[in-house]
Amino acid sequence: MNITVFYGSSRKNGNSELLAREVLKGFCFDALHLYDLNIVPIEDKRHDSEGFTVLHDDYDLIIQQILKSDVLVFATPIYWYSMSGSMKVMIDRLSQAIRDERYPNLKEHLQKVKVIVLAVGGDEPYIKGLPMIQQFNYIFVFLGMSFDHYLLAKGNRPGDVLLDSKAINETQMLNKWLQELKNATRNC
Amino acid sequence: MNITVFYGSSRKNGNSELLAREVLKGFCFDALHLYDLNIVPIEDKRHDSEGFTVLHDDYDLIIQQILKSDVLVFATPIYWYSMSGSMKVMIDRLSQAIRDERYPNLKEHLQKVKVIVLAVGGDEPYIKGLPMIQQFNYIFVFLGMSFDHYLLAKGNRPGDVLLDSKAINETQMLNKWLQELKNATRNC
Amino acid sequence: MNITVFYGSSRKNGNSELLAREVLKGFCFDALHLYDLNIVPIEDKRHDSEGFTVLHDDYDLIIQQILKSDVLVFATPIYWYSMSGSMKVMIDRLSQAIRDERYPNLKEHLQKVKVIVLAVGGDEPYIKGLPMIQQFNYIFVFLGMSFDHYLLAKGNRPGDVLLDSKAINETQMLNKWLQELKNATRNC
Amino acid sequence: MNITVFYGSSRKNGNSELLAREVLKGFCFDALHLYDLNIVPIEDKRHDSEGFTVLHDDYDLIIQQILKSDVLVFATPIYWYSMSGSMKVMIDRLSQAIRDERYPNLKEHLQKVKVIVLAVGGDEPYIKGLPMIQQFNYIFVFLGMSFDHYLLAKGNRPGDVLLDSKAINETQMLNKWLQELKNATRNC
């Protein structure tokens, strides 16, 4: 079972990353720090006769990573009540990616992966993070993907999230869920 | 009365831009296409002892533009149920800007400007755009700003929005509101 | 074209009623004041072997009214950020109504009616009324109904809503939309 | 530490009640089944010169119960994506209660109680229950109350909720939180 985490933070070892590591304790997984990648904002050419232009940045890495994953984890700090700009730029590019002839199976593959969203915020994330969760849901519904779990946690200064005992408890539930998923996959 | 529009689209003359022009008919205004600017994603150093690093990109233009504006218009396509990545990257940087010692009056100034949000989407914007409106509201509340008007409109192919008669009617209301604002400003 | 308005307010001539009358200017329509009707809260027997018990209150009036309507208008004050209790009690009973063997065509009929939601609130209705709009949307999606228009307006003291010029302008748009609907119906 | 649960369901031993009992395992608590009480919908007289009329129903019980509670638990099934009509009718009456001269301390008392919301729904409660949570939040913010915890759980047929292992795990967290609250209260 291949797991990939997309980190939306600019900080290494930031709260959303710490939270993801709790969820993934005991698992091997690939991690992409979006901040370190060169991903340019989408140029919307859905309605151009020539279609999208192939862009020479790091987005292919993301697509290839998705294609070999069974589980995707989106781990983002809550910046201004939504996912980080780096993650939004990455999400926006999906409009191009699902039309990219070099990856004809992307959309179909997305519909088979399991999805977890993890988000850490400092300003009442359990309430003010909810519109972001609704947006993730619309995204996954549009793409025909599942939206298996989300976890909102509290944290501001680096390391804070480990003190959010409710969130940490939920990471254990998610860890267990992943274990069961892994076991089920093996049996097939 | 100085008006600035921030365009979040990658397309010139896209639907959100057309909508803004309807709202601003008869007004002089400055327009910044975020897609054309070089704005790097925030590196979150709120909790670093040295604080934020001054970045050498085009963000100063944005701050200077805000500082001379009485009205800010955020005009964005709805990409994946939220503002465009370009606009989100710009918003994220506010965390740094309001702490930037070179602009000590920024936060205070923001609390005096009038704000309009215009957004155009293809997939039920009147419903699925609502979480984004809630997020804009949280942003403006956090900064102590007003949130005077928002307008969600329907459009997919370039030009579509002009056929959304309900939205076009609302642009006239907003235009009239701006006229009254301008007249009131003159009297002071 | 038969139009029915459900009034959720306890006040006669309250703001939501005034708003509805603006929308319906020039139209004949039936109006039901939910507060005047005897509607008991649903007793959830979806999972009872005998099913729901026929209740002897005024709910049959509501079903019969729906069945002869082409357009339904839900006009409610925003009480505590949602529809009034009277309207919620009425909505809840739909779970029983759509299973009521005496009205086998109800669900099918609902899928043909046009729907407008009007709501008036005193505390930032344009923002804090949005979760209610999302709920109405979920309700209509569940039932396979359309959700043609909603209008959030500001008002507290009786009559206030008539001073909300933006809302009043929108009532004219809705009135025009109803005119077009009526004309289209005639041609069929 | 006095705990009161308000049950919004029409069913005895329904899912939301089972969930509440898990949360409250080992605690003494008072329970009010709203469905069994006679609570009439509010007649909005906030703007009448004479003010509200004292109503002769069971609402006084609710106020008195609140006044002697340190913790309030709102346990409701999700009917049509929101709290049950019975609970909404009860909430609406708060507008009268906080102006009721017989209970001058009600508002102040509300600002000291701890609050838990428990809700069980059959149709994607983790997503479609979110607007309801936002509304509860607006209610509690308006009243100056705290909003300590909410728990959304999945359930349709009676007993279902006990199979929602994630929710049951969260009930244990809430139970522990209540224990700590109780211990802290003792020390004061």
ipTM: 0.96
| Per-residue pLDDT at D19 exceeds 70 | yes
Of all residues in chain A, the percent with pLDDT exceeding 70 is 98
**pLDDT value of residue D188:** 47
| Per-residue pLDDT at A6 exceeds 80 | yes
Nearest to B92 among A44, A80, A132 (CB): A80
What are the angstrom distances between the C-alpha of B57 and each of A15, A25, B51, B63, D138? 27, 39, 18, 12, 40
Question: Could you tell me if B164 lies within 8 Å of chain C, comparing CB atoms?
Answer: no
Tell me whether residues D43 and C10 touch, CB distance under 8 A. Answer: yes
Contacts of C80 in chain D (CB under 8 A): 88, 91-92, 94-95, 135, 138-139, 142
Q: Which H or E element spans position B73?
A: strand B71-77
Tell me whether residues A138 and B128 touch, CB distance under 8 A. Answer: yes
CA neighbours within 13 Å on the CB side: how many for B69? 26
CA distance B70 to chain A (A): 23
Query: Number of helices and strands (H, E) in chain A?
Result: 8, 5
Question: Could you tell me if A15 lies within 8 Å of chain B, comparing CB atoms?
Answer: no
Residues 121-150 of D with CB under 8 A from A: 126-127, 130, 133-134, 137, 147, 149-150
**pLDDT value of residue C188:** 47
Nearest to A88 among B82, B123, B138 (CB): B82
The two beta strands, C3-7 and B149-154, are unpaired
d(CA C66, CA C59): 11
Of all residues in chain B, the one with the smallest CA distance to C130 is B130
Mean pLDDT of chain B: 95
Of all residues in chain A, the percent with pLDDT exceeding 90 is 90
Contacts of D150 in chain A (CB under 8 A): 126
**pLDDT value of residue B188:** 47
**pLDDT value of residue D123:** 97
E strands within C62-143? 71-77, 114-121
What are the angstrom distances between the C-alpha of A133 and each of A118, B131, B132, B143, D179? 10, 9, 11, 22, 30
Q: Which chains touch A (3 or more CB pairs under 8 A)?
A: B, D
Mean pLDDT of chain D: 95
Q: Which tokens belong to B184? A: 């009131």
Contacts of C158 in chain D (CB under 8 A): 47
Question: Could you tell me if B10 lies within 8 Å of chain A, comparing CB atoms?
Answer: yes
Chain A with chain B: Cβ pairs closer than 8 A? 124
Q: What crossing angle do the helices spanning C165-187 and C15-23 adopt, rounded to 10°?
A: 40
**Per-residue pLDDT tens for B99-135?**
999 999 999 999 999 999 999 999 999 999 999 999 9
**pLDDT value of residue B47:** 86
CA distance C36 to chain B (A): 32
| Single pTM value for the model | 0.96
CA distance D59 to chain A (A): 30
Mean pLDDT of chain C: 95
Q: Which of C145, C157, C4, C147 is nearest to C77 (CA)?
A: C157
Mutating which of C123, C127, C135, C154 best tests the B interface, going by the most B Cβ atoms within 10 A?
Answer: C127
CA distance B116 to chain C (A): 13
Of all residues in chain A, the one with the smallest CA distance to B86 is A41
| Per-residue pLDDT at C98 exceeds 90 | yes
Contacts of A126 in chain D (CB under 8 A): 150
Contacts of A136 in chain D (CB under 8 A): none
Domain B3-186 in CATH: superfamily?
A: Flavodoxin domain (3.40.50.360)
Which residues does B21 contact at the CB level (< 8 Å), separation at least 6? none
Average pLDDT over residues C16-36: 97
Average pLDDT over residues A41-63: 91
Tell me whether residues C169 and B173 touch, CB distance under 8 A. Answer: yes
Chain B with chain C: Cβ pairs closer than 8 A? 31
Residue B112 burial (CB count, 10 A)? 12
Q: Which of D33, A153, D49 is nearest to C41 (CA)?
A: D33
Of all residues in chain D, the one with the smallest CA distance to A148 is D126
| Per-residue pLDDT at C49 exceeds 90 | no
Q: Taking a C-beta distance cutoff of 8 angstroms, is the pair B23, B175 a contact?
A: yes
**Per-residue pLDDT tens for A153-175?**
999 999 999 999 999 999 999 99
Nearest to B80 among A79, A134, A139 (CB): A139
**pLDDT value of residue B49:** 86
Tell which wins on pLDDT, C39 or A47: C39
Query: Which residue type, as a one-letter code, is found at position A66?
Result: I
| Per-residue pLDDT at A188 exceeds 90 | no
| Per-residue pLDDT at B186 exceeds 70 | no
CA distance B4 to chain C (A): 23
**pLDDT value of residue C21:** 98
Q: What is the DSSP letter of B105?
A: T
E strands within chain C? 3-7, 30-33, 71-77, 114-121, 149-154
Q: Which tokens belong to C97? A: 């109504």
d(CA D16, CA D27): 17
Contacts of B95 in chain A (CB under 8 A): 79-80
Lowest mean pLDDT among C103-107, C149-153, C162-166, D50-54: D50-54
The two beta strands, B149-154 and D30-33, are unpaired
Q: Which tokens belong to B134? A: 């809630």
CA distance A79 to chain B (A): 6
Q: Which chains touch B (3 or more CB pairs under 8 A)?
A: A, C
